[in-house]
Amino acid sequence: MLTRIGTVTVQVTDQDKALEFYTSKLGFEKRQDSPMGPGQRWIEVAPRGAQTRVLLYKATPQEPGDTSFEQAKRKIGQPTGMVMETDSILETFATLKANGVTIVEEPKHQPYGWWGAFADQDGNSYGVHQ
């Protein structure tokens, strides 16, 4: 029986820059950083206390992490389809802005709650819900 979501993958161009962004600007903790292959590492980050981790994956022709290297590269700078939850969206966005994070959509009250969006160092975007 499936019990939880473990890791979701985000394609990045530079793993060091991505790790710096996710830990310094978003406040995530580094859960794993292990060698994986030539020019690659297995880097997982997550919000403190979260079960689901984000894998910061750098595709190579030998290990694209997708159907092809070209397909993996096309995913960079696109919406991730992931939604992060917060208990205070206005405070969260104030912190993101203070940390220099690109805001894609300012928080706004919707019929389903508060919603906004931000992007990482490569332009991969995330929704934020309260």
Per-residue pLDDT of the chain (130 residues; tens, 9 = 90+): 999 999 999 999 999 999 999 999 999 999 999 999 788 999 999 999 999 999 999 999 999 999 999 999 999 999 999 999 999 999 999 999 999 999 999 999 999 999 999 999 999 999 999 9
Structure tokens at 101: 């994070």
Q: Is the dihedral of CA 100, 129, 81, 63 positive or negative?
A: positive
Of residues 26, 31, 40, the one with CA closest to residue 8: 31
* pLDDT at res. 39: 81
Domains and CATH numbers, the chain: 1-76 (3.10.180.10), 77-130 (3.10.180.10)
Within 13 Å and on the Cβ side, how many CA atoms surround 29?
7
Collapsing DSSP states into helix, strand and coil, what is residue 77? Answer: coil
Backbone angles phi, psi at 125, to 5 degrees: -110, 150
